[in-house]
Each structure stands twice: as C-alpha cells, then as structure tokens.
Structure 1
Amino acid sequence: MIGRLTGTLLEKLPPQITVDVNGVGYDVDVTMTTFYQLPALGQKTTLYTHLVIREDAHLLYGFGSREERETFRQLIRITGVGAKIALAILSGMTADELAVAVAQEDVKRLSSVPGIGKKTAERLVLELRGKLSPSGLAGSPGGLPFVTTADEKNDIVNALLALGYNEKEAAAATKTLPAEVSVSDGVRLALKNLMKG
C-alpha cells in the first residue's frame, strides 16, 4: 500500500497531478480542496494517499491531510459510493463541511453533488452519522489571479467534467467567472456556482 508520497510537483491538470518521487512519476487524482493547496510546479509536496487496485488499473488518490483521506475511506465503504463519487463529494465540500452536512442531516446539500441522488444522500447521513467530526478548520487558500487564457478555461471545464458534471453544467458554471482567475480558483468558484444551483 502506498500511504504517502513526497516529491516534486510536475503537472497540475485537475483533478489529476503528477508527482516525481526519485525519478518515478506518480499520477494522482486529488480532491479540489487538496488541489487548491498545492504549491507551484517544480516545488516539493507531500500527499497522503490511498491506492485502489482493480483488474484493469492501479489508481492512486491523494489528500492534503490525514483527515481528508480518512473521510474518503469512510465514503468508499458505503454501498453505491465509489472512489470517483467520493472524490466528487470531497471536491464539492471539505471534510469538515461534509461532517456538518451529515450531522445536520442536510440531504439537499449532499444531493447537490453530481452522482449523489436523494437516496444515496440519505444513506450517507445514515451510515456516516457519528463517524465524522468537524476539526474546526475552515477555508482553503487559492492561487494568485492572472488573465485566464482559452486553455485555462478548458482546464476548468475539464476538471468539472472529470468530477461528474455534464458539459452543459460545466459551461453554465464557468460562464460567470471573472476574466482574471487562476485554474484552481476558477474550479473553486465554478463548484460554488454549481452547489447554489
């Protein structure tokens, strides 16, 4: 089991990044919460990881904190919630926000995540009750703003598509983004727009 990676950040194509560890490049799918906290390319980073081994692939998921990884592991134990949906949940809200939504039995908030219907949201509340507790840490830092190019806009749309939103939803969510926004900030703002809708 690969439990942690420390290496140089080579690529950031949300939700996937590549980390070079002593000459070996690891492709890691990360939550948007973790993505916003990543350093610049070429900088050293450490991620807590969870490895999923399937017949056709070995998939590595990365998290900025042990708490986020533990929340991911709690989510994938629930029937009907796979790694992709768990990643989408933790991209739409932090581990703390999820703990609060579960504690408050906020089915509406949970079902606003793509791939989560009302029944799955109710199952999340039922099965996670008492297993998650907010740490009291809120917010995640964004990057510095700069002029968004067509490629960066595409990266934002692609990140939303990878998280399970359809093209229409992704286009609507990115339509109102400011002219000067980084990819990570753009994804964060677009996710907020989608959560409101």
Structure 2
Amino acid sequence: MIASLSGLVLVKSPNAVIVDVGGVGYEAFISGRTYDALPETGHACFLHVQTVVREDAIHLFGFHAKEEKELFLLLIAVAGIGPRLALTVLSGIGVDELCRAITGKDVVRLTALPGIGKKTAQRICVELAEKVGGLGGFSADEGGPRATSIPAGEADAMADAVSALINLGYSQATAWQALRAVEQQLAEGSAPLAVEELLRQALRSLAAR
C-alpha cells in the first residue's frame, strides 16, 4: 500500500496531480485545498497518500496535510460518503472548521457543502463527533478550533455561488478553487460578499487564468 509520495509535480489540476517519483508517474486524486498548497510543476512536493482498492481499480488519494488525510478516512467510514464525495467536502471546508461543525452538530453548515444532505450531515455528526478532537488546530478540551467558523449565511452564499458556476459549465473543484481565491483576497474582518458579488469576482478570477 502506498502511504506517501515524494517527488516532482509533473502535472496538476484541481482534481488530481501526477507526481514523478524516480521516473515513475503516480496519479493521485486531491482536494481543492491540497491543490492550492501544491508548488508549480517541476518543483518538489510531498503528499500523504491513502490507497483505496476497489474491485475494478486501485486509486490513490493525496493530501498536503496529515490532518486532511485523517479526516478523509473518518468521512469515508460514514455510510453514503465515498472517496470522491469526501474530497468534495474537504475542498469546501477547512480541517478546523469541519471539526467544529461536526462537534457542534452544525447541520446547516454541513448541508451547505455540495453533495451533503440533511441525513448525511446528521450521520456525520453522530458518528464522528467524538473522533475529530485533536485534528489540526482543533481541541475539544479548549472549546473549539483556533480558526473562526464561517457563519451559516456566508456558507449558504458560497454554496449558491458554487452551484451557479457549475451551471455555467465549470467543474465543482474549479468553482471552489475560484471562490477560495476570492475569499483569500478579502481583508480580515470585512463584511461577507453576497452571492452576486462572489460570482462576479470568481468569474473575473477564472477569466484571468
């Protein structure tokens, strides 16, 4: 079983990366957040890897952070969540914020993520609430993560903007990546953007690529 990859970035996209390890290219599916953390092609990288074996295929899933891999493993243990959906969840929410949503049983925040319905969100909370303590900067003993959680209304705006970009023909991973780029450009403490403004700035970011 492949547990990690260390080599040069050969090809990367918001969905997957090919890492050249000693002349052999390994393809690993990745979250949007891992994509953001990857260096440019030709540069060295390291990925934590989970090998998923199916009857008809063997797939590698790569993660920039160990905590992201640990959350991935917890998510795919929940009924109704496969590896691809787990990556979608991890693309749309950071490790600390996801831990807080789970321990706080914030179903509204979880259902704002693409592919997560109310019943699935409830299962995640029930099954993982006691398992996510200590991941990343989150500490249940200290009352929550060091990062601030995104309010439900802002999360809904992000989800609506993602949906609009998908309807325009962009992939889900590309949509999340563009919206995270918009978020990163906002000054700390600034008011959250409405759906229309999120969409406008995301489209401007995509057109500039």
TM-score (norm 1): 0.73
Partner of 1:157: 170
Shift of 1:135: 2.8
Superposed CA offset, 1:50-95 (max 9, x none): 0111122111100011111111001111111110111111111112
1:179 aligns with 2:195: no
Give distance in 2, aligned partners of 1:159 and 1:16. Answer: 13
Conserved? CA contact 2:91–2:173, under 8 Å: no
The answer to whether residue 60 in structure 2 is matched with residue 53 in structure 1 is no
Distance in 2 (alpha carbons) for counterparts of 1:178 and 1:138: 28
* Residues 123, 6 of structure 1: alpha-carbon distance in 2 compared, 3 angstrom cutoff: same
Is structure 2 residue 132 aligned with structure 1 residue 107? no
Cα shift readout 1:133-170 (whole Å, capped 9, x = no counterpart): 3532659xxxxxxxxxxxxx99x92353798xxxxxxx
CA distance in 1, matches of 2:78, 2:36: 27
Cα distance in structure 1, aligned partners of 2:10 and 2:199: 26
Q: Which residue of 2 aligns with 1:128?
A: 128
With over 3 angstroms needed to count, the CA separation of the structure-2 counterparts of 1:15 and 1:118, relative to structure 1, is same
Q: Distance in 2 between matches of 1:18 and 1:91?
A: 18
**RMSD (Å) for aligned C-alpha atoms:** 2.9
Tell me the amino acid that sits aligned with residue 173 of structure 2. Answer: L
Unaligned runs of 5+ in 2: 138-145, 149-164, 177-196
Contact in 2 for aligned 1:14/1:158 (Cα 8 Å): no
Q: Which amino acid aligns with 2:45?
A: T
The aligned amino acid for 1:177 is: A
Equivalent pair of 2:52/2:60 in contact (CA under 8 Å):
yes
> Residues 157 and 174 of structure 1 are in contact (CA less than 8 Å); yes or no, is this contact kept in structure 2?
no
Q: Which runs of 5+ in 1 are unaligned?
A: 140-152, 164-171, 187-197
In structure 2, what residue type is equivalent to 1:124? I
Query: Which one has the largest radius of gyration?
Result: 2
Aligned positions, number: 162
- Identity of counterpart residues, as a percentage? 39
Relative to structure 1, the CA distance from residue 39 to residue 63 in structure 2 (aligned partners, 3 Å threshold; closer, same or farther) is same
Secondary structure in 1 matching 2:80 = coil
Cα drift, residue 174 of structure 1: 5.2
Q: Which has the higher contact order (CA 8 A, sep 6+)?
A: 1
| Counterpart for residue 8 of structure 2 | 8
TM-aligned CA deviation for residue 115 of structure 1: 1.5
- 1:10-89, aligned counterparts within 5 Å? 10-89=10-89
Residues 91-150 of structure 1: CA distance to partner in whole angstroms, max 9, x if unpaired?
1111211101011111011111121100000000000111113532659xxxxxxxxxxx
